[in-house]
Amino acid sequence: MRDRFIQTLSLLAENDPRVMLITGDLGFAVFDDYRRRFPRQFINAGVAEQNMTLVATGMALEGHIVYTYSIGNFPTLRCLEMIRNDAAYHSANVKVVSIGGGFSYGPLGISHHATEDLAIMRALPDVACFAPTSLGEVADATRAIAATPGTCFLRLDKDSGPDGPATEPFVVGQPRIIRSGTDVAFFTIGGILSEVVQAATELETRGVSSSILSVHTLKPLMPDRLVAAAQTHRLIVTVEEHSIHGGLGALVLEVLSDANACPKSLVRIGLNGCFSSIVGSQHYLRAAYRVNSSSIVDRVLSALAR
C-alpha cells in the first residue's frame, strides 16, 4: 500500500506544486525517487510529530496541500491535539497518512500496533477518515484526499485485499461491493479484506453465500448500502484489524441504529479492547487475536447455527 501511495502522490505532486510531503523521519528509501523529482515538495521534519503537524498546518494555511507521513500511531495519537486544534479546527489541508494499520508492524511491539486510531480519529470533527482495502483503493483514496478540502486521515496497511469489480468506482463515503451473495454480509475496512475474501471463499464451500462491502471511507459514510445489506442478509459481520470499540463495528451499529435497520444478527470481529502484548508477524497476530480467515469462518458458522 505504501508504494502505491507514494506512486500516486508523485503523480499529484507533478501536476500540483501545492502538494507537499512531510515525513517524521520515516520511510527509508521509499521517498528517494519522490525527493529527487520534487525537492521543493519534500520535508523531513525529524522525529517530531507534533511539530510536523504544526508545520503542516501552517503551510496549509498558506496554500499548500500537505501530507504528513509516519507509521503506526506516531502521526495520529502522538500529535492528536495538533490534528484537532490546529489542522481540523482551521479546516487546513493537512492529510495525515499512517502506514502500518493494525498489526502491520506486528513484531515491533505494542508501540507500533495501531489498533485504536480509527476510533480516535473519527471522533474528531471535520476529519475525513479513509482506510482502503486494496491497492486500487489506495490510489483512489490518495487522490480523493487531495481533492477533499480540509483535514483527512489515510490509514494504510502492509497487507491488502483484491480490488474487486472494476464496475464499482471509488466514491468517497460509498462502500464498494466487492462480492455479492445472499446469506452473510461482511463489512470490512483496511487490508484485512484479504482475510475476509478467504473466509468468504471457504464459507462458499460450506454452502454459505457471502457479500463483501469495502468500507474504505469511515467518515463521511453513506448508510444506504449498509442498510440495504442488513435488510437482505441473515447475518452482518464487521471485520477490522482494530478495536471493536469505536471502530468500524461500532460505527456500523450506530449507522444501522440511526436508520432503524438493526439486523437480527450482527457479529463484530476485531480486537476486544485488549492490548496486543505478544508480538509476531501480521499473519501470526491475526490468528492469535482471532481476526484471520479461519477465525472469521468459525465465528460466522457459530453465529449462523444460533
Could you list the residues that contact another protein (CB under 8 A)?
40, 43, 45-46, 48, 50-51, 53-64, 81-82, 85-86, 89-90
CA distances from 98 to 165, 220, 242 (A): 26, 19, 14
DSSP secondary structure string for all residues of 219-238: ES---HHHHHHHHH-SEEEE
* Cβ-based nearer residue to another protein, 86 or 116: 86
Would you say 89 or 284 has its CB closer to another protein? 89
Specify the residue, 20 or 203, whose C-beta has the smaller distance to another protein.
20
Report the residue number, 50 or 209, with the smaller CB distance to another protein: 50
Nearer to another protein by Cβ, of 81 and 254: the residue is: 81
Residues 6 or more apart whose CB falls under 8 angstroms from that of 244 comprise: 238, 250, 268, 269, 270, 271, 272, 273
For residue 191, give every residue at least 6 positions away whose Cβ sits within 8 Å of its Cβ, in sequence order, or none.
Answer: 1, 101, 102, 104, 133, 157, 158, 159, 160, 161, 241
- Taking the CA of residue 270 as centre, how many other CA atoms within 13 Å lie in the half-sphere pointing to its CB? 31
Three-class secondary structure of residue 134 per DSSP = strand
Q: How many whole angstroms separate alpha carbon 155 and alpha carbon 47?
A: 20
Residue number with CB closer to another protein (19 or 235): 19
Minimum Å distance from CB 56 to another protein? 6
Measured between alpha carbons, how far is 110 from 94 in angstroms, rounded to an integer?
Answer: 27
CB of 82 to another protein, least distance (A): 7
All cell numbers assigned to 158: 502492509
